[in-house]
Amino acid sequence: MSEPRETIVVLDFGAQYSQLIARRVREAHVYCELFPWDAPADKVLRLAPRGFILSGGPNSVYEPGAPYLLPYVLESGQPILGICYGMQLLAHALGGRVAPSSHREYGPAQVALGGEPSPLFSGLPTPLAVWMSHGDRIEALPPGFVALGRSTNSPLAAMGDVSRGLYGLQFHPEVAHTPLGKEILHRFVYQVCGCRGTWTPDAFIEDAIARIHAQVGEGKVVCGLSGGVDSAVAATLVHRAVGDQLTCVFVDTGLLRRGEPEQVVETFQRRQGMRLLAVNAAEEFLTDLSGITDPEEKRIRIGNRFIRVFEREAARLGQVEFLAQGTLYPDVIESRGPERQTAAKIKTHHNVGGLPEDMQMRLVEPLRYLFKDEVRAAGEALGLPEEIVWRHPFPGPGLAIRVVGEVTWDRLETLRHADAILLEELRKADLYRQTAQVFAVLLPVRSVGVMGDGRTYANVVALRAVTTDDFMTADWARLPYDLLARVSNRIVNEVAGVNRVVYDISSKPPATIEWE
């Protein structure tokens, strides 16, 4: 980029949704990175952060072994916003007193604003609707701080040392349940930290191309291209950076949806003009998956086979040093990557936790710190076709994790047919763009049914449709009943071996979006 990138750093103290803080800051067009609380000072400070945000966390600051605030954060002299545990940590480090609350406060609350005027709350209404989640509270403020807000159970629900730009919030501004939380974070990064909002899709593209060029140099790159927006944007960025040093490899795993192999070749080889090798490796993948029912083992085997296929094709291209992937931030978070050692592992993603340890190529991951909506914005700025940019996410392991249980060719074909009907009817109803992810799942159970005059004992298909902005949380989509009825009727009548269709109405959390 033409000028230094203004950055806010979020220090993660183990909160489940620390990444949402980073997302909210980026929505304000300010670049933000998330680091574990004990990240080395030089690694953090090389970004020259304009300010720090301290996340929440499950610990109590007074417990032995609890995460603490490293000295360099306060010594930097930059503004700091502590959220929940981060607020308690800030108070504890500066001489305040933190103690267990007599009443745990969890859920919606009202915070009455007051005290010294501050840029954090300027112009906001009082009381403020917020979301609380804490068992400890501030009993005494550190020297120089004043109370800025109180709730029923937290007399010090917000605090600040306005002259030094140090603030603490007992509530969570990053979650949707705090309706004006975005406004508070916006005020922090602009009015307190002095940011101007230079983080835009065009700025990201310029920066990503420069980083890719610096990493790759004169080396050759292969990119695993699936046809989804993630790999498409990653491939386009690499192509912009190094041109014909990139060769895209499309692997037909046998685990794709109906018509996808043909569509990918048409779009990227003929319309986008990229060097594309199409490889049919379906038999290899199905052999690896034979008899396997554990979803983690499926992901690991598929990840291993992906890399082996890539390495084999790369060997035919000569010396290839790099593998480009469309890894996204949610993939890293859920796979408990090195940036998030304090977080619980949810599942292995084939392009994060399922890579072979002896892989020869080095990874190029230009989207590693982006959320899905940021990737789509970059895709539009790059001029990619709408059908690519707005295509629903499709998991790297493909239909192998939507065929619950053992994966066979016959079961894949059954699911392909049912899934095609669902997506066709969704588009006819003009609801494709109104949903974030929609798919069918073939369950490892059979149920009794009646067709014509005979008894059947056949497969069950589950339909899944969700709405979400960030894919870290999601709600089930309230699809019209008549649409669900049409889809169910068509699947039962047109897909051999299926006699029952059910609709998944689980949200994330507690469920994940995918079934496996």
Catalogue the active-site residues.
Answer: 84, 172, 174
Question: How long a stretch of residues is the chain?
Answer: 516
The distance between the two most distant Cα atoms of the chain, rounded to a whole number of Å, is 82
Q: 111 and 157 in contact (C-beta within 8 Å)?
A: yes
Distance (Å, rounded) from C-alpha 15 to C-alpha 169? 15
Amino acid, res. 489: N
Q: 267 and 319 in contact (C-beta within 8 Å)?
A: no
Q: 257 and 228 in contact (C-beta within 8 Å)?
A: no
- Local structure of 380: helix, strand or coil: helix
Residue 264 in tokens: 């990918």
Amino acid, res. 429: A
247 forms beta bridges with 222
Distance (Å, rounded) from C-alpha 404 to C-alpha 169? 44
Nearest C-alpha neighbor of 332 from the set 368, 307, 366 = 368
Residue 6 in tokens: 């203004």
Q: 513 and 346 in contact (C-beta within 8 Å)?
A: no
**HEC profile for 296-351?**
HHHHHHHHHHHHHHHHHHHHHCCCCCEEECCCCHHHHHHCCCHHHCCCCCCCCCCC
For residue 373, the surrounding DSSP H or E stretch is helix 372-381
Q: 256 and 398 in contact (C-beta within 8 Å)?
A: yes
- Phi and psi at residue 106, in whole multiples of 5°? -140, 125
Nearest C-alpha neighbor of 350 from the set 397, 311, 386, 291 = 397
Distance (Å, rounded) from C-alpha 150 to C-alpha 86? 17
Residue 468 in tokens: 């979400």
Residue 378 in tokens: 């970059």
Distance (Å, rounded) from C-alpha 490 to C-alpha 420? 11
Q: 436 and 478 in contact (C-beta within 8 Å)?
A: no
Q: What angle do CA 19, 61, 179 make, to 5 degrees?
A: 40
Q: What angle do CA 142, 41, 87 make, to 5 degrees?
A: 25
User: Is there a cis peptide before residue 295, judged by omega within 30 degrees of 0?
Assistant: no
Distance (Å, rounded) from C-alpha 349 to C-alpha 363? 15
Distance (Å, rounded) from C-alpha 104 to C-alpha 395? 39
